[in-house]
Amino acid sequence: MISRFKPFSLNIRGRLLRYERPAVMGIINATPDSFFAPSRALDSEAIAEKAAEMIAEGVDIIDVGAYSTRPGATAVSAGEELERLRMAIVAVRSVDSVIPVSVDTFRADIARLAVTEMGADIINDISGGEFDSGMFDVAAITHAPYILTHNPGTEGNMHPACQYGDVVADVLRWLSGRLRRLALAGVNDVIVDPGFGFGKTIEDNYRLMASLPLFEALDRPLLVGISRKSMIYKQLGVDPTDAQDGTTALNTVALLNGASIIRVHDVKAAAQTVRLIQLIDSTTKADN
């Protein structure tokens, strides 16, 4: 065995989806200022085209966002975010009515509307419930799977300089505490995300990457989102447009260390990576 992957299930509107291999989550940004320009799609036609391309390349979940969280990004009003998301999710649904769609938002009311009115299935909250106190209740009421992300920042400063006693232990403790709060709120279908890049130094990010097997203790599917981030391109002396090879390398490490879902800009490369790792894994099982 070279892979630590454990099959997992998600309850998508009463459909229990069983994942026997790591899932690929493809990113669509309905915003003009996301840090990786090719991920931007600003009208229905472009979004539908991008969704169709991802589906053809083997995407498992499509993640739609309308508020850039890159350092220095311009704040987006709730009304503007809502309208961008409505347009984007409807466009994705025009291509495929059943593929799971996650909505990337930290605003509880927008998450609720995205699930109840627009066709989103999963709530992807980069704030871990910290930016909007109503988010956990929305996850409970809608019964949508909830992605819990470690983020020590605030809405006004999503990338603070933080000091950790032990970044791995601190992140695990933070996630564990919020898992308890989610359980008390009635939310049990939770995916955990260590929050690479949010309030973490380059060294912190790589410590977390090396320690991903420890997140198995949380007994939840593990999402890793490092696609083309600064932890890759700054170390390689390139910019995000030249960071696909580095992303594939780190996604491979994440998959070997137990990632359940990898969130990516480049679906084809990610799906091929999953496929090859699974082939080696299956061969190892057969030999044993």
pLDDT at 36: 54
Instruction: Compute φ and ψ for 44, nearest 5 degrees.
Output: -60, -40
pLDDT at 288: 60
pLDDT at 96: 97
pLDDT at 1: 45
pLDDT at 264: 97
Is residue 9 in some structural domain? no
H helices within 96-166, ranges in order? 108-113, 135-142
The residue ranges of the chain whose pLDDT is under 70 are 1-3, 33-41, 69-73, 154-161, 284-288
Q: Active-site residue 21, yes or no?
A: no
Is residue 120 in some structural domain? yes
Name the active-site residue from 180, 263, 268, 275: 263
Closest CA to 58 of 284, 283, 280, 278: 278
**Structural domain count of the chain:** 1
CA atoms within 13 A on the CB side of 253: 16
- CATH number for the domain spanning 153: value is 3.20.20.20
Is residue 247 in some structural domain? yes
Buried b (16+ CB within 10 A) or exposed e, 255-282: bbbbbbbbbbbbbbbbbebbeebbeebe
Containing domain of residue 44, as a range? 20-287
What are 14-39's pLDDT values in tens digits?
A: 999 999 999 999 999 988 755 555 65
Is residue 246 in some structural domain? yes
Q: Active-site residue 234, yes or no?
A: no
Name the active-site residue from 50, 112, 200, 229: 229
Q: How many CB atoms neighbour CB 159 within 10 A?
A: 18
pLDDT at 280: 83
44-248-120-35 Cα dihedral, nearest 10 degrees: -50
Is residue 1 in some structural domain? no
What are 55-107's pLDDT values in tens digits?
A: 999 999 999 998 876 665 577 899 999 999 999 999 999 999 999 999 999 99
How far is the C-alpha of 201 from the C-alpha of 241, rounded, in Å?
Answer: 21
How far is the C-alpha of 181 from the C-alpha of 127, rounded, in Å?
Answer: 14
144 contact partners, CB below 8 Å, separation of at least 6: 111, 115, 120, 121, 122, 123, 189
CA angle 91, 132, 135 (to 5 degrees): 65
